[in-house]
Amino acid sequence: MDDKLVLEYGQIMEIARLLQSQAEAMGDSNDQISNAILSLKDYWSASTAIKYEEQYDTVKPYLTNAVEMVLEMSEQLIQIANNFSNLDNDMAGQIN
Q: How many CB atoms lie within 10 A of CB 9?
A: 19
| CA pair distance 61, 57, nearest whole angstrom | 8
pLDDT above 90 covers a percentage of the chain that reads 74
Residue 41's alpha-carbon distances to 30, 37, 51, 54, 55, in angstroms, are 18, 8, 11, 12, 14
pLDDT value at 73 more than 90: yes
What are 11-27's pLDDT values in tens digits? 999 999 999 999 999 99
pLDDT for 1 equals 64
Q: pTM for this structure?
A: 0.82
Instruction: Show me where the domains of the chain are located.
Output: 26-94
DSSP state of 61: H
